A and B are shown apart, each in its own frame.
Chain A
């Protein structure tokens, strides 16, 4: 990725490669309307899940929690953890709130649902593929994306149960560069 072209941008401004150009609004677990760009200036970790997932999703959330734990003490205030539902027609804010309560997520987390087309678009931006395989289940890529304060993907952790060291380092690098 070529970052030289926007070297002169102020820290945290959305660059040409920024996902924050996506015009989409989401609902969080408290049914508030939010945009991904609200995390501009922070480092945002994004993964896609669906609330009724019993197989990989709890593990991807656990992986994200592990990253959060390693960073909370040093840079917790500059960290945003975001889960986006790929099943927005089923995953209402109330369902997402129930999930957040059940797995005891910290206030750094937001669980988002939105328009199915916007979910497709965000998935395309993140390089996530997903497919409904039954009434209740989806197959999907297990990818945790690290967005720097400008909204660019600077790192992606792929697969489950991966050693989070690289991702933690990527978050720290993104924070110190800003």
Chain B
């Protein structure tokens, strides 16, 4: 379905000429990806200096599907569920597949879940991509259907919090089943959580992990972290969630998509 959509886009572009579509689509260099113009943004846990400048990059329009991930596993047997080294993936890894090299028909267009960070990283590398950085992901996650930065929009915030408040459904939705943001990126919220490249560079006060409770003896200079906007509770939830993860974890509600640096 994803490929069909892209093909249609290409066909129409060929018929109507480039530039007919929005700049977002016209500038998207890689298939299946969306070019995100960079910008200045203040992360929830900001450097003391304030906003960070983010160069332009490309992001997958959709989370990675089970079908795409199966293709990867076929090509890279070391990431098969029955061959992966436990140091890189826990026992939950791909446990929802009926077989190490088979998925259910309905899973094809569902986002892949139960993947470890190491596996997600390897998948992106195999595509010549990388996992998005936390800043890249959060930058795009601020966008609603109509605004690049909807982080101050109470309805947008509430929608995200409502989703966080719901338990993970037994069946994950299909790719594209939530919303398309102003950049043309789908499912940033509402489908599943996503790995980021630097998930382990998050530190939040609290007992998120028994071995990393926030303690000046455990963290050099740790007291210097302050939330830039404590009212943005959804961000806090995401940062806290990431800080509770280990790279080996496979979780039902955790998938990923890939990003790519672009040369300006």
Contact between chains at A160 and B217 (CB < 8 Å)? yes
Nearest-Cβ distance from residue B42 to partner chain A, whole angstroms: 15
Closest to A18 in B: B87
**CB-CB contacts of B199-229 with A at 8 A, as 1s and 0s?**
1111100000001100101111110110000
Q: Is A138 an interface residue (CB 8 A)?
A: yes
The residues in A between 112 and 161 inclusive whose CB is less than 8 angstroms from any CB of B are 117, 120-121, 123-125, 127-135, 137-143, 156, 158-161
List chain B residues, Cβ under 8 A from A123. Answer: 200
Contact between chains at B219 and A140 (CB < 8 Å)? yes
Q: Is B238 an interface residue (CB 8 A)?
A: no
Inter-chain CA distance A55–B219, complex, in Å, is 10
Contact between chains at B221 and A139 (CB < 8 Å)? yes
Size bin of chain A's contact surface: 35 or more
Contact between chains at B200 and A120 (CB < 8 Å)? yes
**CB-CB contacts of B101-124 with A at 8 A, as 1s and 0s?**
000000000000000011001000
List chain B residues, Cβ under 8 A from A128. Answer: 200
List chain A residues, Cβ under 8 A from B85. Answer: 16-18, 21
Given contacts A117-B130, A131-B203, A124 and B217 within 8 Å (CB-CB)? no
List chain A residues, Cβ under 8 A from B217. Answer: 56, 142, 159-161
Closest to A2 in B: B86
Q: Is A19 an interface residue (CB 8 A)?
A: yes
The residues in B between 217 and 249 inclusive whose CB is less than 8 angstroms from any CB of A are 217-222, 224-225, 243, 246-247
Contact between chains at B221 and A56 (CB < 8 Å)? yes
Given contacts A117-B130, A159-B217, A139 and B224 within 8 Å (CB-CB)? yes
Q: Is B47 an interface residue (CB 8 A)?
A: yes
Nearest-Cβ distance from residue A7 to partner chain B, whole angstroms: 15
Q: Is B88 an interface residue (CB 8 A)?
A: yes
Q: Is A13 an interface residue (CB 8 A)?
A: no
Given contacts A117-B130, A120-B197, A134-B49, A139 and B243 within 8 Å (CB-CB)? no
Q: Which of B118, B203, B224 makes the CB contact (< 8 A) with A129?
A: B203
Given contacts A131-B225, A159-B215, A139 and B220 within 8 Å (CB-CB)? yes
List chain A residues, Cβ under 8 A from B5. Answer: none
Q: Is B68 an interface residue (CB 8 A)?
A: no
Q: Which of B130, B200, B221, B243 makes the CB contact (< 8 A) with A133?
A: B221
Given contacts A21-B88, A141-B219, A142-B217, A127 and B47 within 8 Å (CB-CB)? no
Inter-chain CA distance A85–B47, complex, in Å, is 20
The residues in B between 35 and 76 inclusive whose CB is less than 8 angstroms from any CB of A are 45, 47-49
Q: Is A57 an interface residue (CB 8 A)?
A: yes
Contact between chains at A125 and B221 (CB < 8 Å)? no
Q: Is B198 an interface residue (CB 8 A)?
A: yes
Closest to A57 in B: B220
The residues in A between 17 and 67 inclusive whose CB is less than 8 angstroms from any CB of B are 17-19, 21, 53, 55-57
List chain A residues, Cβ under 8 A from B247. Answer: 121, 124-125
Given contacts A124-B118, A133-B225, A134-B48, A158 and B218 within 8 Å (CB-CB)? yes
Inter-chain CA distance A18–B86, complex, in Å, is 9
Contact between chains at B47 and A133 (CB < 8 Å)? yes
Inter-chain CA distance A39–B6, complex, in Å, is 49
**CB-CB contacts of A149-178 with B at 8 A, as 1s and 0s?**
000000010111100000000000000000
Contact between chains at A121 and B118 (CB < 8 Å)? yes
Contact between chains at B202 and A131 (CB < 8 Å)? yes
Nearest-Cβ distance from residue B136 to partner chain A, whole angstroms: 14
Contact between chains at B202 and A129 (CB < 8 Å)? yes
Closest to A120 in B: B198
Inter-chain CA distance A47–B221, complex, in Å, is 17
Contact between chains at B211 and A127 (CB < 8 Å)? yes
Can you list 16 A-B pairs, Cβ within 8 angstroms, ordered by A? A16-B87, A17-B85, A17-B86, A17-B87, A21-B88, A57-B220, A124-B199, A127-B246, A133-B47, A133-B48, A134-B47, A139-B222, A139-B225, A140-B219, A158-B211, A161-B217
A-B residue pairs, 4 tightest by C-beta: A56-B220, A124-B247, A159-B217, A139-B222
